[in-house]
Structure 1
Amino acid sequence: MEWIDYPDADLMAVHLANRLAGELNAALEHKERVLFVVPGGSTPGPVFDCLCDADLDWGRVDVCLSDERWLPEVHVRSNARLVRKRLLTGRAARARLLPLYAPGHEPEEVLADLEAGIVPLLPIDVCLLGMGEDMHTASLFPGADALEAALDPHAPVLVAIRAKDVPEPRVSLSARVLRASLALHIVITGAAKKAALDRARASQPIQAPVAAVLDEAVMHWAP
Structure 2
Amino acid sequence: MKIQEYADRDMLAIDVANELAGDLEAALLHHDTVAFAVPGGTTPGSIFDSLCAADLAWDRVRVLPTDERCVPADHERSNERLIRERLLTSRASIAEYVPLYVPGADPEAALPEIESLIAPVLPLAVLVLGMGEDMHTASLFPGMEGLAAALGGHAPTLAVARTETQPEPRITLTAPVLDGALSKHLIIYGTGKREALEHSLSLPPEEAPIAAVLSGITVHWAE
TM-score above 0.5, yes or no: yes
Deviation of residue 104 (structure 1)?
1.5
TM-score for the superposition, normalised by structure 2: 0.99
Q: Distance in 2 between matches of 1:161 and 1:199?
A: 23
What SS is found at the alignment partner of 1:101? coil
Residue in 2 that maps onto 1:74: 74
Q: Distance in 1 between matches of 2:38 and 2:214?
A: 16
TM-score for the superposition, normalised by structure 1: 0.99
Q: Which amino acid in structure 2 is aligned with residue 188 of structure 1?
A: I
What SS is found at the alignment partner of 1:186? strand
Alignment of 1:123-202 (within 5 A): 123-202=123-202
Residue in 2 that maps onto 1:35: 35
Residue in 1 that maps onto 2:19: 19
After the TM superposition, list the runs of 4 or more consecutive aligned residues in structure 1 that deviate by more than 4 angstroms.
none
CA contact (8 A) 1:146 1:162 kept: no
**Aligned pair count?**
223
Unaligned regions of 5+ residues in structure 2, if any? none
CA contact (8 A) 1:159 1:171 kept: yes
Deviation of residue 105 (structure 1)?
1.0
Q: Distance in 2 between matches of 1:165 and 1:137?
A: 14
Residue in 1 that maps onto 2:46: 46
Deviation of residue 148 (structure 1)?
1.1
Identical pairs, percent: 52
What SS is found at the alignment partner of 2:210? helix
What SS is found at the alignment partner of 1:84? helix
Summarize deviations over 1:177-214 as a string: whole Å, max 9, x none: 00000000000000010011011111110000000001
What SS is found at the alignment partner of 1:48? helix
Unaligned regions of 5+ residues in structure 1, if any? none
Residue in 1 that maps onto 2:108: 108
